[in-house]
Amino acid sequence: MRQAKEFISLIWLPIFAFTALCSFYVLWALLDLPPKEEVVEIAKLYFEKYGLITIFVCAIIEGTLFAGWYFPGSFVIVLGVFLAGDDYVQLFGVFAVTTMGLLASYVFNFYVGKYGWYRLLLALGFAEALEKAKGQLVKYGPRATFLTYWHPNLAALTSTAAGILQIPFRTFMLYTLAATLAWDTFWTIVGYTLGEAALTVIGPQYVVAFIVLWIAAILFQKWRERGAPEIADSSSQV
């Protein structure tokens, strides 16, 4: 039982991401929402009509606790990078408004956690996930932002947990800014390099593959940590 709990504590974050992904597609099917191709066309129309405001609003929604789980904001952001093409001014604009939108949502989440407003969402199934996010922050400190900010939905949990733990706002902002810039740069490069193919890369099959690799990396790191003392003990005996 103890080993099972330890195993779950190690892989809770990728499992939560997988559960959220499944929930998103189940909800999409139940509501009979339009397929990805139609979403792309709708997003194109809004992007052409409203420009960077569309990306900014999508980034805010995507990074906000609870709201982002049911909104394909990441898809729209990558689409914005794709539509910018070789227009480097427009490309930088997409990067800038995405970063500002996500930062605004993470600050909002921080205060939701700090002032206890997050309790209103606990009945929606976020209690355990927030506890795990708090555990990551306690274990790794603000550096945990770099482990979770690769996706805004996970970053929403971490930023809320930072507020709950009363992490100093200056410290929170320093790490949040660094992690957001790092991951936004990464995803902008992915979107620009892969072009239209980037819209497929963020599809469910690739996200699942990424989660599987994520779990494998966690288990491998844990195996190395456990193996190191044994190697050290055997060396000292020799």
What does the alpha-carbon distance between residue 141 and residue 193 come to, in Å, rounded to a whole number? 33
Amino acid in position 80: G
Q: pLDDT tens digits, residue range 91-136?
A: 899 999 999 999 999 999 999 989 888 777 676 667 777 888 888 8
Q: Residue 69 corresponds to which tokens in the numbers above? A: 């789980």
Q: Residue 10 corresponds to which tokens in the numbers above? A: 């190690």
Q: How many CB atoms lie within 10 A of CB 232?
A: 10
CB 81 within 8 Å of CB 198: yes
Burial of 223 (0-12, 13-18, 19+ CB in 10 A): exposed
Residues above pLDDT 90, as percent of the chain: 17
Q: Residue 196 corresponds to which tokens in the numbers above? A: 């239209």
Amino acid in position 87: D
Q: pLDDT tens digits, residue range 33-82?
A: 666 667 667 767 877 788 888 889 888 888 888 776 666 656 667 777 87
Judged against a pLDDT cut of 50, whether residue 212 lies above it is answered with: yes
Burial of 196 (0-12, 13-18, 19+ CB in 10 A): exposed
Q: What is the DSSP letter of 85?
A: T
**pTM of model > 0.85:** no
| Contacts of 80 by beta carbon, 8 Å cutoff, 6+ apart | 47, 52, 54, 55, 94, 98
